[in-house]
Structure 1
Amino acid sequence: MQLTAPASRRTGIRDADGMAVASFVLGLIGLLVLNLFLGPTAIALAAASLWRGTTRKGRAYLGMGLGIADLVVLLAFMQMDNSVSWSF
């Protein structure tokens, strides 16, 4: 009788949890710097972690939301600056 999940299953969930946390952190950092690169990366990591069945669904959804917010902030500053980049 097996009481725990196989090692490969536990590793897959742990990887998915790590991707959820990484998407949250990258999305948060992306609000300030490199939002053109960090926003889509946060969205992709969040989607991959949700697809793999993370136990940290809230963190993954926050990462996805922050990734989208990164792109919205970039677009807003680009509209105000009339350029492809922005600065304070």
Structure 2
Amino acid sequence: MTLTTPARGRTGTRDADGMAVASFVLGLLGLLVMNLLLGPIALVLSGLALWRGTARRGRALLGAFLGAADLVVLAVLVGVDHTVSWSFGG
């Protein structure tokens, strides 16, 4: 028989769900700005959310995909412009 408090179990799941949502939002935002910073953060948060057993598994997987896409966009832009910074205007 294990003694756990119900509040602690819900808090852990809620934290993992929050990480999943945060990874999705940061990955999406990273496609527009600061992809060098936001992409890896989205990857780490999605990995942590999946490891902790989030109920929002799809959102965590999307966060991981978007975080990786941030880094791919950065690599393409560096290959084209030979610089890490970029802007919308010419």
TM-score under structure 1 length normalisation: 0.92
Runs ≥4 residues deviating over 6 A: none
Let me know the Cα RMSD of the aligned residues.
1.0
Percent identity between the two aligned chains: 67
- Separation in 2, partners of 1:73, 1:54: 28
5+ residue gaps, structure 2: none
CA distance in 2, matches of 1:85, 1:70: 13
Q: Which residue of 2 aligns with 1:59?
A: 59
How many residues are aligned here? 84
Match of 1:69 in 2: 69
Q: Secondary structure of the residue that 2:75 maps to in structure 1?
A: helix
State how far apart, in whole Å, the 2-side matches of 1:87 and 1:76 are: 14
Aligned amino acid, residue 14 of structure 2:
R
CA distance in 2, matches of 1:63, 1:76: 20
**TM-score normalized by structure 2?**
0.90
Deviations 1:5-28 (A, max 9, x none): 711011000000000000000000
1:44 Cα deviation from its structure 2 partner: 0.3
Tell me the alpha carbon deviations over residues 57-88 of structure 1, each in whole angstroms, 9 at most, x when there is no partner: 00000000000000000010111001122222
User: Corresponding residue for 2:32?
Assistant: 32
Structure 1, gaps ≥5 residues long:
none
Determine if the alignment matches structure 1 residue 78 to structure 2 residue 78.
Answer: yes
